[in-house]
Amino acid sequence: MDKLTAMRVFTQIATLRSFKKAGERLSLAPSVISKHLSALEAELGVQLIERTTRTTRLTEMGELYLSKCRNILEEIDDIETTLVKETGRLKGPLNISAPPGFAHRHIAPHLPVFCAAHPDVNLNLISVHNENSQLLPQVDLDIRISETRVHEGHGIQILAGNHRQLVGTPHYLSRFGQPKTVADLAAHKLVTVENGMDSIDWHFKDSDQNISTFKARGYLRLDSGDAILRCVLNDGGLAMLPTYIVGRHITSGALMPVLETMVDERTPIHAVWRQKNHRLPKIEAFLAFLHQLYGDTPYWDMVTPGNKKAAARASK
Characterize the bridge pairing of strands 211-216 and 200-205.
antiparallel
Residue 35 and residue 106 in one domain: no
**Residue 30 maps to which CATH number?**
1.10.10.10
Q: Name the band, by pLDDT with cuts 50, 70 and 90, for residue 279.
A: low
Residue 184 and residue 250 in one domain: yes
Q: Residue 173 has what pLDDT? A: 98
Give every strand in the sheet of 269-274, ordered side by side.
Answer: 121-127, 92-98, 141-145, 269-274, 154-160
**Residue 217 maps to which CATH number?**
3.40.190.10
Q: Name the band, by pLDDT with cuts 50, 70 and 90, for residue 43.
A: confident
Residue 254 and residue 172 in one domain: yes
- The number of distinct structural domains making up the chain is 3
Residue 146 and residue 179 in one domain: no
Residue 17 and residue 50 in one domain: yes
Residue 275 and residue 157 in one domain: yes
Residue 158 and residue 271 in one domain: yes
Where among 60, 85, 110 does a domain terminate? 85
**Residue numbers of the domain that contains 105:** 89-162+267-314
Q: Residue 222 has what pLDDT? A: 96
Q: Residue 97 has what pLDDT? A: 92
Mean pLDDT of 201-211: 91
Task: Produce one character per residue of 154-192: b if its CB has 16 or more CB atoms within 10 Å, e if not.
Answer: bbbeebbebebbbbbbeebbeeeeebeebeebeebbbbb
Q: Using a pLDDT cut of 70, give the percent of the chain over it.
A: 91
113: CB partners within 8 A, 6+ apart? 289, 313
Characterize the bridge pairing of strands 220-222 and 191-193.
parallel
Residue 148 and residue 174 in one domain: no
